[in-house]
Homo-oligomer: A and B are copies of this chain.
Amino acid sequence: MIKTPYLLFLGDAPDPLAAKVAQGIRDWRPENAVGQYRMPGCQADMRLPDMTLAQARAAGAQTLVIGVANRGGVISPAWKKVLIAALEEGFDLASGLHNLLRDEPDLAAVAAACGRQLHDVRVPSVAYPIANGEKRTGKRCLAVGTDCSVGKMYTALAMDRVMQARGMKSTFRPTGQTGILITGDGVPLDAVVADFMAGAVEWLTPDNDPDHWDMIEGQGSLFHVSYSGVTMALIHGGQPDALILCHEPTRTHMRGLPGYDLPSLETLRDTALPLARIANPACQVVGISVNTQHMDDAEARRYLAEVEARMGLPAVDPFRHGADRLVDALAAI
């Protein structure tokens, strides 16, 4: 568990896109972000107060989160200076970078000397069990996609936000690095050893109140041959009561796999639902989340109306139009 709230480290981000992690935290857990730390030349801006390390500590920040992807995969000397000063100032550090904080001898030494934690959220920190398949109390919703990176995480976060606003019981359950940094805990599922994937998802979504919903972050796609095993483990370990189908209609082939077509939403439904019912015979597909970012407003509305009529399920872009109708569908089952 990463201590909140955070100071978001934007470093020398070459462009706003490089600060995707910081943006996720700012968008979805603004209460966790007391401010931002930018270095000279930083091209990203979360529109949070710019703070020194001391100011952020005084404002209550517990952890400096690396909210930016680094260039060339190394933790640069310029970053190092700030990170070491942060440890000395009393911050823990958290990172989802491929290069681990703990593998940097200077950071590890200062952290040990100062009694601070280094959180590398790409690395599992728990010995997960083998899944036992036992029915758990409470309810679970999983977003499954026609492809990777079609908006599964944003869908779960948007639905969770609406549920919180309505006073429903819900918890967003992260399964990837960005999600973990947004909330402070979760399972880095793509880094879990194969035998324990489904068990890690069971561990993440334990028994709960009968009217509580775990909003599980999806990963990969059953139709993406590189990562489909991870998706399968989510479907069986998560034993969802509800599936949301996610789609990005302008994509011409599966992400990173030229020559692989995306499946239709019908094929996704007819593939995912029988597999989900192995673990939870009551599972239903309740709605469709479409990422319309590459469509203009008229085109997006036309497309959503067409999908909704064709599939007989609410079809929305939760980021563009809100997740209310998806939550209505969830609340109805």
Closest 10 CB pairs of A and B: A229-B233, A225-B236, A232-B232, A229-B229, A190-B195, A131-B226, A229-B232, A133-B225, A133-B257, A197-B229
Complex CA gap A31/B191 in Å reads 39
Whose C-beta in chain B lies nearest to the C-beta of A130? B226
Complex CA gap A27/B197 in Å reads 33
Tell me how many residues of A have a C-beta within 8 Å of chain B: 39
Q: Is A151 an interface residue (CB 8 A)?
A: no
Complex CA gap A190/B192 in Å reads 11
Q: Is A275 an interface residue (CB 8 A)?
A: yes
Q: Could you tell me the distance in whole angstroms from the C-beta of A187 to the nearest C-beta in chain B?
A: 10
Whose C-beta in chain B lies nearest to the C-beta of A270? B274
Given contacts A229-B232, A230-B229, contact A275 B222 (CB under 8 A): yes
| A229 proximity list for chain B (CB < 8 A) | 194, 197-198, 229-233, 236
| A232 proximity list for chain B (CB < 8 A) | 222, 228-229, 231-232
Within 8 A of B (CB), among A72-118: none
Copies of this chain, tallied across the complex: 2
Within 8 A of B (CB), among A208-255: 222-223, 225-233, 235-237, 239, 254
B257/A132 in contact, CB under 8 A: yes
Whose C-beta in chain B lies nearest to the C-beta of A280? B225
Given contacts A222-B275, A223-B278, A233-B194, contact A260 B133 (CB under 8 A): yes
| A132 proximity list for chain B (CB < 8 A) | 226, 256-257
Interface of chain A, main secondary structure: helix
Complex CA gap A231/B223 in Å reads 14
B260/A271 in contact, CB under 8 A: no
Q: Is A157 an interface residue (CB 8 A)?
A: no
A197/B198 in contact, CB under 8 A: no
Whose C-beta in chain B lies nearest to the C-beta of A233? B229
Whose C-beta in chain B lies nearest to the C-beta of A188? B194
A225/B193 in contact, CB under 8 A: no
Partner of A189, one of B133, B194, B199: B194
Q: Could you tell me the distance in whole angstroms from the C-beta of A180 to the nearest C-beta in chain B?
A: 15
| A190 proximity list for chain B (CB < 8 A) | 193-195
Known: A133-B254, A191-B194, A229-B231. 15 other contacts (CB 8 A): A131-B226, A132-B257, A133-B226, A133-B259, A190-B193, A190-B195, A192-B194, A194-B229, A198-B226, A198-B229, A223-B278, A225-B278, A228-B235, A228-B275, A232-B232
**Please, what's the 1-or-0 string for A259-275, where 1 marks a CB less than 8 Å from any CB in chain B?**
11000000000010011
Q: Is A162 an interface residue (CB 8 A)?
A: no
